[in-house]
């Protein structure tokens, strides 16, 4: 009896199992081939704490409805949609990567960054030859980079950084991926040399990050051939040796080059892109010397002519006499040149009424005429020169590229861009090819020329692609002028506030502006040794933009100069304060009022805004930039006012915790770019770190720039 019941129970269990298997297999067979491949990926995930794969159900015959799966129709309108995207970033997935994903013939984007995936990267993944972006960074992958990557001839973006990859750099394989424009293999354990092929083959490359590895050998000269590079060349924290190739100077000036913490030696080439780098780009190389490092390069030993007993055997007495006569003639010629230069300098000092010269700059002819644009009060355009006597002064050039003289400057057509209690700004058109911006400071500070000269020359030495260059200055008792490069596309404030006819900024442009501004300020903060530079007045109107939306930091050092010449109204202005900084739609400098407006106060750090007489600080600049970043993201000025600061904070933290959509925070113009939400959240975190009330808890400007660079260089974030 007992045995009979047991047999019946076993039969029922077998029947249930058979029915279950029939259901499962019927569902599975209902899936198309791609759905079955995706289920294979799920089967190798051992932990899914957030449940992102919970709806990857074999009972659902349409994998295009599964989380993180994106599909697209093929060329045939009647065809079934195919899988083109798998995007599961920050999902905390644990497991390994299924090689079957390489069989997804139409897969273009594989985005699994910031998970806990481990094991080797299967070579079969690279059978998906349509891949355009592969983001596997911030996982636990080990082993070498498969050479099969060479099959991805359509690949544009490759990021395998922050894993545990080892072995040599697969340069020969990567060289076959000629469409690559973004490569990051940083923070791994890669070793060996950097092949010449990277520079000679990847002509489309815009960003290359190989930092924090164990790469050795010399830096290939061919890296200087990466003419499309516009973002980063980071070779820092490796074991590279030898000299820095002079060919790297040929890279575009906007490129951030970092070779710090290697074993490099020799002088640092100071031309092109290398001249724009700060001291931090070269630190940690005991053998490097020359600017911007404080280590001086030793002079090579001068060749000594040995005419002793052995050396004189081949020289006749006539030859020795000729050498001696030549030496005497050379010394005499040097003396004549020296005396001539001294006579010219003495004569020049006698003719100059104030004796205003510079030992480190070139002066360009004095004048005795004041043009009409220096007398303008309200006119928008001035075209005629109306001579009026004033004390003689000089235009002092701060670089050798200044080819105009004072007469040309003062007689040129000029447009008044704005004015207030601290002076007037002009757009001065010297020729079809040359336009400059001239700031008129005022007529005070007549007895403080040496202070003024020291400050303005320090400002003039700052050369960076994201800082407006001061080209020349003029000093006289009743007039002080600053001549800057002219930046033609206005400032960030006018664009964000809709005061121009331009279209709303796209996300890529906002990232570019944020990164460029941070890069310029980071360079500024790292200049000097005994004297550290800070800006002190970072706000949207001080971020100028060119036609390519490249940002330029304006008005650096202006507060120091105003303290010297005084902040009074220039003569003839009647003590009135008129046009605000927003009226300046394009210049080499922005326009700052002597009194800080309520709108400007919101960009000031709490420790600066609540007290008077504080000097600009690095942490204050970080706070100000953070406020600019928030405005870049939100597109709103009013949400940054003190009255609604708490509300903004609540919105941000709610979005970060997933309780409120990011859509409620970002600028309405970015709504159609919410596929970049992951990048926007990272951007938001950087901005929040900058505006921390406690100065010591804010990051350095270099950290801000590095954080923004990691966001900006990702071409797309599929979320």
Residues carrying an active site annotation: 537
The answer to whether residues 292 and 282 touch, using CB atoms and an 8 Å cutoff, is yes
Query: In sequence order, which residues have a C-beta less than 8 Å from that of residue 668 and are 6 or more positions away?
Result: 635
Tell me how crowded residue 599 is: count the other CB atoms within 10 A of its CB.
18
Nearest CA to 165 out of 132, 143, 194 is that of: 143
Instruction: Check whether the bond before 462 is cis (ω within 30° of 0).
Output: no
- Enclosing H/E stretch for 459: helix 449-460
Lookup result for tokens 């404030």 = 493
DSSP string, 484-546: EE--TT-BHHHHHTT-SSSPPPPHHHHHHHHHHHHHHHHHHHT--SSS--------GGGEEE-
Q: Is the dihedral of CA 316, 317, 322, 323 positive or negative?
A: positive
CA atoms within 13 A on the CB side of 654: 13
The answer to whether residues 626 and 518 touch, using CB atoms and an 8 Å cutoff, is no
Token representation of residue 244:
């820095």
The answer to whether residues 495 and 547 touch, using CB atoms and an 8 Å cutoff, is no
Q: Could you give the C-alpha distances from 343 to 336, 340, 365, 392, 550, in angstroms and in order? A: 11, 5, 18, 22, 47
Query: Is residue 167 classed exposed, middle or buried when 0-12, 13-18 and 19+ CB atoms within 10 A define those classes?
Result: middle
The answer to whether residues 361 and 399 touch, using CB atoms and an 8 Å cutoff, is no
- DSSP-H helix ranges across 316-387: 317-351
DSSP state letter for 434: -
Instruction: Point out which residues pair with 396 in neighbouring strands.
Output: 363, 473
Distance CA(28)–CA(26), nearest Å, equals 5
In 5-68, at which residue ranges do the beta strands (DSSP E only) sit? 45-47
Q: Are strands 133-135 and 109-111 parallel, antiparallel or unpaired?
A: parallel
Q: Residue 553: helix, strand or coil by DSSP? A: strand
Distance CA(391)–CA(385), nearest Å, equals 17
Instruction: Point out which residues pair with 362 in neighbouring strands.
Output: 397
> Order of strands across the sheet with 214-217?
45-47, 94-96, 116-120, 140-143, 164-168, 189-193, 214-217, 239-242, 263-267, 287-289
Nearest CA to 693 out of 624, 621, 607 is that of: 607
Token representation of residue 228:
């499309």
R_g of the chain computed on alpha carbons = 33
Nearest CA to 158 out of 189, 203, 126 is that of: 126
Distance CA(237)–CA(188), nearest Å, equals 11
């Amino acid at each position: 009896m007992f045995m009979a019941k047991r047999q019946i129970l076993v039969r029922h269990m077998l029947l249930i199992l058979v029915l279950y298997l029939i259901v499962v297999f019927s569902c599975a067979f209902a899936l198309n081939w791609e759905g079955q491949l995706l289920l294979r990926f799920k089967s190798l995930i051992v932990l899914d704490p957030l449940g992102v794969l919970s709806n990857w159900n074999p009972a659902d015959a349409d994998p295009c409805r599964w989380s993180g799966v994106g599909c697209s129709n093929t060329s045939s309108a009647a065809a079934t949609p195919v899988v083109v995207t798998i995007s599961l970033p920050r999902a905390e997935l644990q497991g390994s990567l299924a090689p079957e994903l390489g069989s997804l013939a139409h897969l273009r984007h594989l985005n699994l960054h910031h998970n806990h995936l481990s094991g080797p990267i299967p070579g079969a993944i690279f059978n998906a030859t349509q891949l355009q972006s592969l983001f596997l960074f911030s996982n636990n992958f080990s082993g070498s980079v498969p050479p099969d990557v060479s099959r991805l001839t359509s690949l544009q973006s490759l990021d395998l950084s922050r894993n545990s990859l080892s072995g040599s750099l697969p340069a020969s394989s990567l060289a076959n991926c000629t469409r690559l424009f973004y490569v990051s293999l940083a923070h791994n354990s890669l070793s060996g040399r950097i092949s010449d092929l990277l520079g000679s083959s990847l002509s489309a490359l815009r960003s290359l990050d190989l930092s924090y590895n164990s790469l050795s050998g010399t830096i290939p000269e061919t890296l200087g051939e990466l003419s499309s590079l516009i973002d980063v060349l980071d070779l820092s924290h490796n074991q590279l040796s030898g000299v820095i190739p002079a060919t790297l100077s040929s890279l575009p000036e906007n490129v951030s080059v970092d070779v710090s913490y290697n074993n490099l030696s020799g002088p640092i080439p100071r031309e092109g892109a290398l001249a724009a780098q700060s001291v931090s780009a070269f630190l940690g190389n005991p053998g490097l010397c020359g600017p911007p490092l404080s280590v001086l390069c030793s002079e090579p030993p001068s060749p000594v002519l040995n005419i002793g007993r052995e050396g004189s055997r081949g020289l006749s007495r006539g030859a020795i006499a000729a050498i001696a006569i030549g030496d005497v003639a050379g010394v005499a010629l040097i003396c004549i040149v020296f005396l001539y230069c001294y006579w010219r300098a003495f004569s020049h000092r006698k003719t100059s009424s104030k004796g205003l010269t510079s030992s480190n700059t070139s002066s360009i002819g004095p004048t005795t005429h004041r043009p009409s644009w220096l007398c303008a009060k309200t006119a928008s355009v001035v075209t005629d020169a109306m001579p009026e006597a004033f004390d003689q002064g000089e235009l002092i050039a701060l670089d050798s590229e200044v080819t105009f003289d004072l007469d040309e400057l003062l007689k040129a057509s000029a447009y008044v861009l704005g004015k207030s209690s601290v002076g007037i700004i002009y757009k001065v058109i010297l020729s079809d090819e040359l336009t400059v911006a001239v700031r008129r400071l005022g007529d005070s500070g007549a007895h403080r020329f040496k202070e003024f000269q020291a400050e303005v020359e320090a400002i003039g030495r700052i050369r960076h692609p994201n800082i407006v260059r001061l080209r020349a200055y003029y000093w006289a008792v009743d007039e002080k002028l600053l001549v800057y490069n002219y930046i033609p596309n206005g400032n960030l404030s006018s664009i964000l506030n809709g005061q121009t006819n331009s279209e709303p900024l796209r996300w890529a442009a906002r990232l570019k502006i944020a990164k460029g501004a941070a890069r310029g300020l980071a360079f500024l903060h790292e200049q000097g040794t005994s004297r550290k530079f800070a800006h002190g007045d970072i706000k949207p109107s001080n971020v100028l933009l060119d036609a390519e939306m490249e940002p330029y930091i304006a008005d650096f050092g202006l507060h120091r100069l105003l303290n010297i010449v005084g902040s009074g109204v220039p003569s003839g202005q009647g003590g009135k304060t008129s046009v605000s900084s927003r009226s300046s739609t394009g210049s080499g400098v922005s326009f700052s009022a002597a009194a800080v407006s309520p709108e400007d106060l919101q960009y000031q750090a709490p420790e600066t805004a609540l007290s008077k007489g504080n000097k600009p600080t690095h942490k204050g600049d970080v706070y100000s930039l953070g406020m600019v970043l928030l405005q870049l993201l939100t597109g709103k000025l009013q949400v940054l006012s003190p009255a609604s600061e708490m509300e903004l904070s609540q919105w941000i933290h709610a979005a970060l915790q997933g309780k409120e959509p990011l859509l409620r925070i970002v600028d309405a113009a970015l709504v159609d770019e919410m596929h970049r939400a992951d990048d926007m959240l990272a951007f938001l975190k950087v901005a929040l770190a900058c505006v921390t009330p406690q100065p010591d808890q804010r990051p350095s400007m270099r950290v801000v720039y590095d954080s923004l660079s990691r966001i900006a260089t990702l071409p797309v974030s599929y979320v």
